Structure 1
Amino acid sequence: MANMAENDSLSQTLDEPLTNEFRFDDMNQRIVVACLFALISALGTVGNSLVIVAVILSRKLRTATNVFVVNLSLADLFTSLILPWNVVALLSPDGWPIDGAFCAVAAVVLFTCVSCSVYTLAAIAINRFVIITRPMHKYKTYYSKWKLVVMVIGTWGISFFIATIPLIFGLGELGYDVKYGTCTHKTSHHLSDYYSMAQSLLIYPIPMTTIVVCYIAVFRHVRNHAKNITEQSDSSSTQSQFTHPVRRESSHRQSISRRQVEITKNLFYVVCAFFLCITPYCAALVIPKSEPFIPWAGAIILLNSCINPVIYATKHPYFKQVIKAILCCKLSSIPEPSSCLRSSQTRWKPR
């Protein structure tokens, strides 16, 4: 009898952590998070579709930098389109209501797109560093058509690898997670903490370091460039009238540089917004006892999917012009219309 009592006591002790383990089962909170996901999905789908359509309709937006911008919008668009699966999961108190394979696929897509967003931002930072600090002929060599294709494929390849680590190495399992009621990696798996750590290390530090180094280098180059221009301007004021063509050429180069600096500054806003959104989630993955905050941190990181189009539409000079024309249904005012837009306008033009 004593042994049986000891065994019962031991059993209760072993079961105690399981009963005290956090579960996101408050339906009021789940409904709020589900509503946030639905709102993000709707806004992100519309906003990122506008960015992609803008590039399709205007040749002026078809630059090497905007290849990465469109890639970022595609990642955010896929994120927005897959979010309704998590809405279904959160609003199902009795667990995932359909085939578990759908939930696993949703988790893979979500992790892939979030990772792709980070690595695309790193690619944009490198692109801005090259275009600001290197001669234009070198920039065109580095960012030829096929090299751009390889870079874009690389961002998706790395991201897909990060998302499928559980499938490749058995480091966890993807699907419906009972703990949080969402399509993610299953925290019930005994190696799930290692996958969380791998995500934090692969998604955050490497791209973040690249972005910080590139933008600091751009800032220093622009500051030195402005200083040199000021000195040249002071010295040129004492020169004769025969130097005017040289000054005009120099002024033209300065205006191009200022335009690129303005675009770089606006894209830096995108970077700041993203890392403000992703930092709480990555911190929550590695900080002990932060489980209650993780669902809300997930909503914050996903919020970024609908922030970027707002930044483009309000800050980027060319995107602002084209998106405004689309929203006002004034396609004829789009600068440098693409061939498909011109042909459609010709087809529907009244005779």
Structure 2
Amino acid sequence: MPDTFTLLKNRTEPRLGQLERTLATEGNARPAWVIAVLASVLIFTTVVDVLGNLLVIISVFRNRKLRNSGNVFVVSLAFADLVVAFYPYPLVLYALFHDGWSLGDTQCMVSGFLMGLSVIGSIFNITGIAVNRYCYICHSFSYSRLYSYRNTLLFVALIWLLTIVAIVPNFFVGSLRYDPRVYSCTFAQNVSSSYTVAVVVVHFLVPIAVVTFCYLRIWVLVIQVRRKVKTDESPRLRPSDLRNFITMFVVFVLFAICWAPLNLIGLAVAIDPHHVVPRIPEWLFVVSYFMAYFNSCLNAIIYGLLNRNFRNEYKRIITSVWVTRLFVTETSRAATDGRSMRSKASPAPALNNNESVRDRIDKE
């Protein structure tokens, strides 16, 4: 029976999947310095991802100036970036240092689901941010009605619902597999050419097109305002609006740069898999994946560099944490000094004890 099962499995598995596994096996043994570089990049990404995105979320909740409809999407994007830092990335790090280790079926499904939740959630939230900025700047008269508090929460909920809907087909197609080249359970580009094309188009190209349209329209308005060529319907553009727009535009550009190589590779593989897969260098495939990983830690840095409100709130949070740490340290030090002072105040009874000993000796 085992031989029959193996024969049936080999007949039904795509030839392309066998080719990918062969390439992965050939490149599995890597020099120590390569492992060290990949691990360093991932450790840095994970630490900055957690600290930075927690700062973003806390800043929005603490600062009244940051509590607006647009930043609800920013918090949602920060949550999407945080998802991968708590489960998939630690597993990738473990696999990096344990050669030959791979995820079990359950771990693979959970890791792949969370990775997809983060990736698709990020691009959909970036799209939501772009549409929000477009409505705020180009259609400011209807913005308050369209992006009321209730509607904004509904839009965010819709984003995450669409994200989950976009992930579910992977479980039926069987496209979530462990890839030893990148030490993680991820989307296998070789499962189905048509499905891979659909994923790249729906998860990347269409959102990028929508975001590009929104930001191009905003740039046109910015140029009109700068040239004082405004129509009656053109809203007044405040400097803070321009800074916020530039911040989110940079977030979008960095996301596109980090994820474009991996998506272009997937598109090329889907179009002509048998000729393209053997010609893709393993280092290019690995670098494209780690570039995509790295994007999850960039957004919080961009907010701090380009947005004054976020930067000031970062400083307040870090300062308060540092002051609290100093207070705890000083309190524990004072308690330690108090105990040492009490211990130093006990020589008198000791002398009395010594005197009693001498008296006892004299009596003897």
Short-chain TM bin: 0.7 to 0.9
Q: How far 1:111 moved relative to its partner?
A: 1.2
CA distance in structure 2 between the aligned counterparts of 1:135 and 1:198, rounded to whole angstroms: 35
Question: Matched residue of 2:100: which SS?
Answer: coil
CA contact (8 A) 1:185 1:192 kept: no
Deviations along 1:203-225, one digit per CA (max 9) or x if unpaired, are 21111111111111111112223
> Which residue, 120, 135, 139 being the options, matches 2:143?
139
2:74 pairs with 1:85: no
Match of 2:45 in 1: 40
TM-score normalized with structure 1 length: 0.75
Mapping 1:306-345, distance limit 5 Å: 306-329=297-320
Match of 2:101 in 1: 95
CA contact (8 A) 1:35 1:87 kept: no
Change (3 A) 1:163 1:32: farther
Question: How many residue pairs end up in the alignment?
Answer: 292
CA distance in structure 1 between the aligned counterparts of 2:257 and 2:21, rounded to whole angstroms: 34
Mapping 1:24-173, distance limit 5 Å: 24-28=27-31, 29-82=34-87, 83-96=89-102, 99-136=104-141, 138-167=142-171, 170-173=172-175
Q: Which deviates more from structure 2 when the two are superposed, residues 263-272 or residues 223-232?
A: 223-232
CA contact (8 A) 2:121 2:160 kept: yes
Mapping 1:199-348, distance limit 5 Å: 199-228=199-228, 254=236, 257-287=238-268, 288=276, 289-290=279-280, 292=282, 293-329=284-320
CA contact (8 A) 1:76 1:306 kept: yes
Match of 2:344 in 1: none
For 1:318, the aligned partner's letter is: N
2:196 pairs with 1:196: yes
The gaps in structure 1 that reach 5 residues or longer are 1-13, 233-252, 333-351
Match of 2:353 in 1: none
Question: Matched residue of 1:176: which SS?
Answer: strand
Q: Return structure 1 stretches of 4+ with deviation > 6 angstroms.
A: 229-232
Match of 1:342 in 2: none
**Between Structure 1 and Structure 2, whose CA radius of gyration is higher?**
2
The gaps in structure 2 that reach 5 residues or longer are 1-14, 269-275, 324-364
Deviations along 1:147-202, one digit per CA (max 9) or x if unpaired, are 112211222222222223221xx323424234543221356xx7255543332122
CA distance in structure 2 between the aligned counterparts of 1:200 and 1:129, rounded to whole angstroms: 24
Question: Matched residue of 1:183: which SS?
Answer: strand
For 1:27, the aligned partner's letter is: R
Q: How far 1:226 moved relative to its partner?
A: 3.1
Change (3 A) 1:89 1:216: same
For 2:169, the aligned partner's letter is: I
Match of 1:8 in 2: none
Match of 1:185 in 2: 187
CA distance in structure 1 between the aligned counterparts of 2:191 and 2:187, rounded to whole angstroms: 10
CA distance in structure 1 between the aligned counterparts of 2:76 and 2:36, rounded to whole angstroms: 31
CA contact (8 A) 1:33 1:296 kept: no
Match of 1:349 in 2: none
Change (3 A) 1:285 1:54: same
Change (3 A) 1:330 1:17: closer
Change (3 A) 1:286 1:231: closer
Q: Which deviates more from structure 2 when the two are superposed, residues 147-156 or residues 303-312?
A: 147-156
Match of 2:9 in 1: none
CA distance in structure 2 between the aligned counterparts of 1:185 and 1:219, rounded to whole angstroms: 35
CA distance in structure 1 between the aligned counterparts of 2:131 and 2:192, rounded to whole angstroms: 33
CA distance in structure 1 between the aligned counterparts of 2:94 and 2:110, rounded to whole angstroms: 14
CA distance in structure 2 between the aligned counterparts of 1:276 and 1:51, rounded to whole angstroms: 22
CA RMSD of aligned residues (A): 2.9
Q: How far 1:291 moved relative to its partner?
A: 5.6
Question: Matched residue of 2:292: which SS?
Answer: helix
CA distance in structure 2 between the aligned counterparts of 1:330 and 1:96, rounded to whole angstroms: 39
For 2:318, the aligned partner's letter is: L
Change (3 A) 1:200 1:229: closer
Q: Which deviates more from structure 2 when the two are superposed, residues 144-153 or residues 304-313?
A: 144-153
Match of 1:248 in 2: none
Deviations along 1:257-307, one digit per CA (max 9) or x if unpaired, are 222122111211111111111111111222323261222211101111111
CA distance in structure 2 between the aligned counterparts of 1:264 and 1:17, rounded to whole angstroms: 45
Question: Matched residue of 1:196: which SS?
Answer: helix
CA distance in structure 2 between the aligned counterparts of 1:75 and 1:331, rounded to whole angstroms: 28
